[in-house]
A and B are shown apart, each in its own frame.
Chain A
Amino acid sequence: MAEQAAPGAQARLFYPGYAGHSQISGRTLGFWLYMLSDALLFTALFAAYAVLDTPMNAAGGPVASQIVNPIEGFWQTVVILGSVTSYSLGTVAMKSGHRAGLVWGILGAILLAIVFLGFGFGDLAALAAHGAGISRSGYLSAYWVLILTHAVHMVFGILWMLVMLAQIVRLGFNEMVVARLLNLRMFWQFQATVWVCVYVYVYMIGA
């Protein structure tokens, strides 16, 4: 390098006891990257849905406007937003080290998530009962897989919350537990974000 500076007498070569980055920041950044990766997964599913959402791909079976109900979808939207808000409000209690507040927030989130999933599985069960299962047409395959992928994410979220309930009680707010709680907050919020996209795209524009 042309601009190489001559080292001054005080040029520092080593940094003993360098503390490095904060453990929590590293974990939340890593998890955020995972979520972007997951977002691309949903993007690919949306691309597939877009290609398969034509009368041709319905192959004589139902099309979007016949199977989705934007009004019911709106209530699902409210419920899932309620669930993430409940969790997020729980984490506000964490600021003051208040375990009970967080536990109540998580319990509320789980309850609303189950309500949300109940709506979704009700829809899918009704479709299956009408012979509009995943193997009916290309369009329905796309619809089922999109909804189910989101639902599976939700189920894992609930499982994660149950694990965290145990950890809050057993381990308290140590560094790792706090990092996981923050990651879970992002993960849970992410499910609502994806749902908003599903709702707008499948339940409103697509229908």
Chain B
Amino acid sequence: MQAQLPGPWSPLLGRLTLDQIPYQVPILQWTFAGVVVIGLAVVFCVLYFRKAGYLWREWLTTVDHKKIGVMYIVVGLVMLFRGFVDGLMMRTQQVLANGPNAPGIMGAQHGFLPPYHFDQVYSAHGTIMILFAATPILTGFQNIVVPLQIGARDMAFPYMNALSLWLTTAGAALVMLSLFVGDFSAAGWVGLIPLTELPFSPGTGVDYWMWAIQISSVGTTLNAINMITTIVEMRAPGMSWFRLPVFSWTTLSSNIIALTAFPVLGVALALLGADRYLGAHFFTAGNGGNLMLYTNLFWIWGHPEVYFLILPVFGILSEVVPTFSEKPLFGYVTMVAATFAIAGISWLVWLHHFFTMGAGPDINGFFSVATMLVGIPTGVKVFNWAFTLYRGRIHFSVPMLWALFGLFLLLAGGLTGMMLALPAINYTVHDSVFLVAHFHCMVLLVVAAAFAGVTYWFPKLFGFKLDEGWGKAFFWVFTLGTVITFAAMFALGFEGETRRLDWTFDPAWKPMLIVEEFGIMLYVVSIVCFVIMLAVSIRDRAKTRLAQPWPTARTLEWLTHTPVPFYNFAVTPQVNMRDELAWRREHGLDQAKPDRYEAIHMPSNSALPVIIGALAGVWGFAMIWRIWWLAGLSLAGIIVCVIIRSFDKNEGYYLQPEEIEAMETNLAIGAIIAEQPDRSHSSIPAEAH
């Protein structure tokens, strides 16, 4: 039943042949050299400092939500960098390939990227930024912060949490692998149909795109289950719903979206897979397929996905703004209500991504009005933050700067979004870079909030603050780059530049394209600032160790020690008030210590999640290259691993009160970067079985 393949196929290696490795492309040669050098350097360092065992025991096999969160963020930042380089290449190509007489090098007629390569670059940029940068970074924050905010020791399913991480990582690894083996999809991050069908994309690019997303979205769905269960079941005593910090609320709503929206993406891609692998006719132009069905299914997921990203961002802003205004959040209840209103409406607006499909005016009208409705709860939120700032004692430290810039981006992106919600305007600027500039305001809001979160919560995990001076330099250069790039892009949209042009044929665009390129160069500088910030902060870490890095923080995650011990809370706190820490501080209770410790039950580490993640990566690779025996074998391996796990009788171990007391007095022993002795064998069974 296999679909007719263009090109050779062998039972042993599937479609994989030596000429699938693009060793003749100069850009990829350099990239490959870079990856090899960096990879070898990392491996060398790990071996030289004898950290391989530490890495395996404390990180790769961990089930600790904080470490998993850190790894999510590291994966996200690496992919953010990769996605940025794609963006840099696109902007540079467009400025070089401007006008009818633009010269070309390296096989391109204009600029330096031939059209097919350029198409892969923008497809990779979108896919990576949304699914492999923004999603893991935000998931990372949720992992780190939510259990601490609700006073839990871990997630509801620590082992599944690790599995989610490794599935996401496997997807990201497949995207990276497509650089060096085969190619990536050239059909846009949304998978423009019928371009993604086998006759029009005969290579493995679309398959890379498809399976990478499928594997990572299984991870995202599992994580959503975990987050929701954690928030519902594991709140500390006294943490009633209306005492829940806003970041936890937004995590809950965001994960409800993930839980319900990602299966629809899975179906859209699986049906495309049925077309490509089994010769089905879901989305083909002939034989009874329906092209718009794909677009419809994709955006049923695609629009809720936007809010899946933006809601946790609102949560981060709602934590940072009150902390650095020294005031409680204005309008907590309306903030929560607005969060859920946005989540609800997010399911009613997806057609606005394809107003030009040709549906009737009643339908376009319905979706237009629904889209504009989103502005109401979002407006509520903006005013709530503004009123929190109003007459507050504002500290312009780095997280606050990012949050304020985030508000600015939300305003710019939100108002242009309102413009795009009108079908009449939408028809005019459809697929122009005006639209691109609009949604980049929104996703850069995600980035701004991510950096706010990184600077805000970094000391919680590692015990020292990030350097304030370099942090501010990073912030200002990045901000300036953003404003310059996207102001120019809005203008280009009005000048009629459409998306995805490998050749910007109109010379009138030149000035603004140069401005854009200048803005992008500022981003390059900002990345240098970021790296220096990290290096300086680590060098000076002894100076910035503080028991309470943000003395005005309000929520429960700051109640436990900094750096946070791996068991989170020595004794589960009893919650008395919304903004518990602020309340305790006002009443002089924030230094109170529990009078006794009791044994803490902890889950044991497990190698199975990382093994299953690796097998999922192998399975994806085998499916992409149609190596059926390998796909069957790895899938069977995954099933066997799951069954093995279900027979596992390891019920974790108990941390004894003496150990806890030692770690509470010397925080370095319990910190998450410290190496722990193997406790799993010395554990005593639960006494009251």
Contacts and interface: CB of A to CB of B under 8 A. Distances in A.
B589 interface: yes
A115 interface: no
Contacts of B284: 138
B290 A40 contact: no
A13 B646 contact: no
B594 A16 contact: yes
Interface in A131-168: 133-142, 144-145, 159, 163, 166-167
B190 interface: no
Contact of A141 (B156, B226, B281, B579): B281
Chain B interface bracket (under 10, 10 to 19, 20 to 34, 35 or more): 35 or more
Interface string B639-680: 100010011010000000000000000000000000000000
B583 to A, nearest CB: 6
Contacts of B359: none
B288 A56 contact: yes
Contacts of B271: 48, 141, 145
Contacts of A36: 259-260
B260 A37 contact: yes
B683 interface: no
Given A16-B597, A34-B225, A41 B574 contact: no
Given A44-B268, A57-B289, A138-B290, A163 B573 contact: no
A71 interface: no
A189 to B, nearest CB: 19
Contacts of A163: 643, 646
Given A16-B598, A59-B288, A29 B297 contact: no
Given A16-B572, A141-B274, 4 more contacts: A6-B587, A33-B225, A41-B263, A48-B267
Interface string A108-145: 00000000000000000000000001111111111011
Interface stretch (B53-61, B63-71, B172-180, B228-236): B228-236
Contacts, number: 178
Nearest to A8: B576
Contacts of B578: 1
Contact of A1 (B221, B328, B592): B328
Nearest to B284: A138
B577 interface: yes
16 contacts: A11-B589, A12-B576, A30-B229, A33-B224, A37-B259, A37-B262, A40-B259, A44-B267, A44-B300, A57-B290, A59-B288, A138-B290, A141-B274, A141-B280, A141-B281, A145-B271
Given A30-B226, A137-B281, A4 B1 contact: no
A168 B297 CA distance: 42
From A4, A29, A138, name the one whose CB has the most chain B CB atoms within 10 angstroms: A138
Contact of A30 (B153, B156, B596): B156
Contacts of A61: 288
